[in-house]
Chain A
């Protein structure tokens, strides 16, 4: 399988899904009107990756903004990661939020309470 690298735009995040290193990154803004188009290939990729993941999958989510349309797709991404974790592979989700951005921290905690994968909340200090 091949890794995915996508540049960010005004409404969509930059994406690195690396199947060799097991590093999965989503960064920037995720506010498209219809997020399914953007996230469907990523969710499909994870389904494929889940069949033969590397020993340790490290997920870095560093979003400045995301809309509610994206929030569901991000949950779908996390649900695929949950499958990998359930199959006794090492997975950790690092959820980054900017200093004082309580809303973003809370959003991470919402996911943490739904998804059974270890989360790490990481504050970005200027």
Chain B
């Protein structure tokens, strides 16, 4: 059976979901998500360390979507908002799980996969060195992206980045990034 957003979203999780969103990833949406999550975490009396890490992960993963997401999706039959993305925040056995999803052009997969595999292969100290190298040597893109988001997420969580590429059609995959905090 082929991949469909509708089925995917309906079957996301049976766990304790703090927030689930599908639609346009805009600057306003990012504000709203951060505000809502911050409020829920305040109420939940969560450890300030965990709260900060989760907040940082959300900022980086949402802004990664914001910077890299495909503007339109030619050849995708389902009706999608422009800059379509998915965000799910859930909690399972005391661990927060942040999942983002977006369509990605097949041509970009190799680069992305290699980047994540590289990050996952590094030790804590090597990640620190990589972060500092990119910080000091790469210019920001015109949109303000720095190529540091995934490195920062891996560094702050101390966990490997999990990912899945769901084949959609010849041109597109649906990319899931799963981050545990």
The answer to the question of B59 belonging to the interface, with a C-beta cut-off of 8 Å to chain A, is yes
**Quick one: CB contact mask for B34-75 with A, threshold 8 Å, 1 for yes?**
110000000000001100110110011001001100000000
Q: A69 to B63, alpha carbons, bound, how many Å?
A: 9
Number of contacts between A and B (CB, 8 Å)?
Answer: 73
Residues of chain B whose beta carbon lies under 8 Å from any beta carbon of chain A: 27, 30-31, 34-35, 48-49, 52-53, 55-56, 59-60, 63, 66-67, 128, 131-132, 135-136, 138-140, 143-146, 148-149, 152, 156
**Quick one: CB contact mask for A83-114 with B, threshold 8 Å, 1 for yes?**
00000000000000010111100100010011
Q: Which residues of B contact A114 (CB under 8 A)?
A: 132, 135-136
Given contacts A65-B56, A65-B59, A67-B63, contact A72 B135 (CB under 8 A): yes
If over half of B's interface residues share one DSSP class (helix, strand or loop), that class is named, otherwise mixed; here it is helix
Q: Is the CB of B132 within 8 A of A69?
A: no
Given contacts A33-B144, A34-B143, A101-B49, contact A68 B149 (CB under 8 A): yes
22 contacts between A and B (CB under 8 A): A10-B31, A31-B34, A31-B63, A33-B63, A33-B67, A36-B144, A65-B52, A67-B60, A67-B63, A68-B60, A68-B152, A69-B145, A71-B152, A72-B135, A72-B148, A73-B140, A75-B135, A75-B136, A101-B48, A101-B49, A110-B128, A114-B136
If over half of A's interface residues share one DSSP class (helix, strand or loop), that class is named, otherwise mixed; here it is helix
Q: Which residues of A contact B53 (CB under 8 A)?
A: 103
